[in-house]
A = this chain, B = another copy of it.
Amino acid sequence: MPQTIRIALDVMGGDFGAPVVVAGAAKSFARHPDIAFVMVGDQSVVEPLLAEHPAMRAASRMVHTTVSVKMDEKPSQALRHGRWRSSMWMAIDAVKRGDADVAISAGNTGALMAMAKFHLKTMPGIDRPAIAARWPTMRGASIVLDLGASIGADAEHLVDLAMMGGAMARVVLGIERPTVGLLNIGVEEVKGLEEVREAGAMLREAGHREIDYVGFVEGDDIGKGKVDVVVTEGFAGNIALKTAEGTAKQIGEFMRQAMNRSVFAKIGYLFAANAFASVQDKMDPRKVNGGVFLGLNGVVIKSHGATDAEGFATAVDMGYEMVRHDLRANIAEILAKLSAERAVRPAPESIST
């Protein structure tokens, strides 16, 4: 286990850039004084902000660049103009060179994924990386993946997602053998996509020691927290995530309107203010901020671009936990085992021949 956790930050990333990133980093540093930051960005912008946090400044190394990736740049554009010299790339590069244990950016998701994949490459046996995140549930939190790194998934990719998600649940949720479900549109074996059914059969048959595969789950099981890890391909995963966010906002807006409509409601709101705050707190997207890129030779975390310092601090906390519990080695070990199993065992299609 490393003495200090070295975190590279794309200080210029996100809708609000350096002020939010530095303030967020400071909040996380206050909780984890064993972090050493690599701050990548425009020195003239970052230095004055860092000056407000002398303890963190002492634990930070500055890497200067004036190039940054824009939020609306296409991944290919970003790779062309930002490779080697943008703050986003150089934060990833710090991980690649072994100067940092994890890179965090609130910048453009597509560009970050493209750069991370290009520079760090996927782990042996993994074709495509995934994005995983915590999802608040009635039971606490679950890990859901893939939230949009790639579209579509064959059965083997879904199994990879299950194993990587399981590793993340161990680290983030502290559950030794997390329960895992495949997102589907019915609990009967007959329903759903061929790939999902095949992945279910593979997971059931393999009986992995690292995860407890429980079967199919449906969209409403996510919020119930029926399983610790919900596995799906990126299109459905992204739509589920965004739809849940939209529904939460919608209810919040209905609630706000209703509480403003009458004097009675306003009085009620005052009495129940703490109760409202506790619900808001439970659904607060800032408390679960941080999409973890899984399946790369290095840990990269995407913070929401529009988050504030509190939200960015959560992403930094997430990065800290990932390194502290050695997520990468954990996943590498599981994947090596999986690949060894696949090598000795015939593929499902060839069993019947």
Q: B268, A273: Cβ atoms under 8 Å?
A: yes
Check: A154 CB closer than 8 A to any chain B CB: no
Check: A55 CB closer than 8 A to any chain B CB: no
Q: A74, B190: Cβ atoms under 8 Å?
A: yes
Contact with B along A225-261 (1 / 0, CB 8 A): 0000000101110111111111111110111001101
Check: A279 CB closer than 8 A to any chain B CB: yes
| Known contacts A247-B248, A274-B264; is-contact A220 B242 (Cβ 8 Å) | yes
Q: B151, A185: Cβ atoms under 8 Å?
A: yes
Check: A59 CB closer than 8 A to any chain B CB: no
Check: A148 CB closer than 8 A to any chain B CB: yes
Check: A270 CB closer than 8 A to any chain B CB: yes
Check: A267 CB closer than 8 A to any chain B CB: yes
Q: B235, A221: Cβ atoms under 8 Å?
A: no
Q: Point out the residues of chain B lying under 8 angstroms from A283, CB to CB.
A: 251, 254
Instruction: Give A270 to B270 CA distance when docked, in angstroms.
Output: 12
Instruction: Give A39 to B220 CA distance when docked, in angstroms.
Output: 33
Q: Point out the residues of chain B lying under 8 angstroms from A271, CB to CB.
A: 264-265, 267-268, 271
Instruction: Give A224 to B252 CA distance when docked, in angstroms.
Output: 12
The residue on B at minimum CB distance from A225 is B250
The residue on B at minimum CB distance from A270 is B268
- The answer, among B74, B232, B243, B282, for a CB contact under 8 Å with A223, is B243
Identify which of residues 261-287 in chain A touch chain B, using a CB-to-CB cut-off of 8 Å.
Answer: 261-262, 264-265, 267-276, 278-279, 282-283
- The answer, among B244, B250, B272, B273, for a CB contact under 8 Å with A138, is B250
Check: A306 CB closer than 8 A to any chain B CB: no
Check: A219 CB closer than 8 A to any chain B CB: yes
Q: B279, A272: Cβ atoms under 8 Å?
A: no
Q: Point out the residues of chain B lying under 8 angstroms from A218, CB to CB.
A: 238-239, 242
Q: B219, A245: Cβ atoms under 8 Å?
A: yes
Q: A254, B268: Cβ atoms under 8 Å?
A: no
Instruction: Give A218 to B245 CA distance when docked, in angstroms.
Output: 11
Identify which of residues 191-212 in chain A touch chain B, using a CB-to-CB cut-off of 8 Å.
Answer: 191-193
Q: Point out the residues of chain B lying under 8 angstroms from A261, CB to CB.
A: 275, 278
Q: How far is the CB of A31 from chain B (nearest CB, A)?
A: 25
The residue on B at minimum CB distance from A269 is B272
- The answer, among B235, B244, B270, B272, for a CB contact under 8 Å with A247, is B244
The residue on B at minimum CB distance from A232 is B239
Q: A254, B282: Cβ atoms under 8 Å?
A: yes
Q: Point out the residues of chain B lying under 8 angstroms from A74, CB to CB.
A: 188, 190
Q: Point out the residues of chain B lying under 8 angstroms from A185, CB to CB.
A: 148, 151, 234-235, 238-239, 242
Q: B248, A251: Cβ atoms under 8 Å?
A: yes
Q: Point out the residues of chain B lying under 8 angstroms from A278, CB to CB.
A: 254, 258, 261
Q: B238, A240: Cβ atoms under 8 Å?
A: no
Q: A223-B249, A268-B270 are in contact. List 8 more A-B contacts (CB 8 A).
A: A151-B185, A219-B243, A220-B245, A223-B250, A244-B244, A258-B278, A267-B268, A267-B272
